[in-house]
Amino acid sequence: MVSITLNPNWSGVFPALTTAFTKDGSLDYDAIRQFFGWLLAAGVDGLVVNGSLGENGSLEPDEKLALVALAVEASGGKVPVLSGVAESSTARACQFVDHASRLGLDGFMALPPMQYVSDRRETIAHLKAIASATDLPIMLYNNPVAYRVDITPEMFAELAGEPKFVAIKESSENVRRLTDIRTLVGDRYRLFVGVDDLAMESIVVGADGWVAGLVCAFPRESVALFRLVRAGRIAEALPLYRWFMPLLHLDASIKFVQNIKLVEAIVGVGTEYVRPPRLPLTGDERREIETLVQRALASRPSLPDLDLLKA
């Protein structure tokens, strides 16, 4: 195992990356490399592969490892690279973490068990087992809306005894959770918002970062929003957030993968190819998003200098 950095100080906008496929459903390596490079050039602060938006559940183990390697190569150490850990058994999760840890990434984003709805004791045991399989830091991902397992603030307090758990992606759609976690454990964890259309509210109350979805199509707008809010420039951030909100709502949907991949295709940075059982959008669903994106592009706001804003 490699040496662990217990305080990686993760912060900023971390895209939850979509996975580019060819028409026949295989990984599109060239498109993936170009996509990662485009996002990095736009100023994102990290890369997260193998998440829900990346269609983790449809990927084979070797494909997940290939995506880790591609992200590590693209980053070149400039930003942290994390991989989602979303497996149906604890053994598979630990095996993946063990193999991926050898590829040079910076950490993991660990979910409760997939498919099985674990209780408090089982969830904590699963997450601790993942930690035992690596020396790398871990972001804990709570999304009870999608996965029906709620990692409560009290559970995060219990998990705080494991030093490899360094961050939380909070996607409960309850912005009050961030304050509840801070009240219980102070600054023990780096806190990330994981719900696009609660981004500004979450940053205002103290989120250190944003694991974002629509950033995959609008990275500069996402980075600008985060940095403006963190800098306390609320009067400048609010019009940008209001412009962005109709697009951000697309992340809070059962079809968020198809939604965001369609937006990527419209803005010219990806394709709509998804793996079944998902299918590309058709009919009114498709037309509504096409209209929404065209309206947004026609009224795209001017942005501040991101380099100056970062400073």
H-helix segments, 139-212: 144-147, 153-159, 176-185, 199-204
- Alpha-carbon span 123 to 111, nearest angstrom: 9
Torsion angle (degrees, nearest 10) of CA 223, 227, 230, 231: -170
Cα 58 to Cα 37, 55, 149, 196, 303: the distances in Å are: 24, 6, 21, 23, 37
Is pTM beyond 0.85 here?
yes
Q: How high is the pLDDT of residue 297?
A: 98
Q: Judge whether 207 and 191 are in contact, CB under 8 Å.
A: yes
Domains and CATH numbers, the chain: 12-236 (3.20.20.70)
Q: Judge whether 153 and 176 are in contact, CB under 8 Å.
A: no
Q: How high is the pLDDT of residue 27?
A: 98
Q: How high is the pLDDT of residue 8?
A: 86
Mean pLDDT by 10 residues, the chain (311 residues): 62 98 97 98 98 96 98 98 97 98 98 93 97 98 92 97 98 95 97 98 97 98 97 97 98 96 97 97 97 98 86 55
Q: Which residues are catalytic?
A: 141, 169
Sequence-distant (6+) residues with CB within 8 A of 116 are: 88
228-233 long-range CB contacts below 8 Å, 24 or more apart?
228/304, 228/309, 229/200, 229/203, 229/204, 230/203, 231/309
Q: How high is the pLDDT of residue 311?
A: 55
Q: How high is the pLDDT of residue 19?
A: 98
- Alpha-carbon span 41 to 51, nearest angstrom: 21
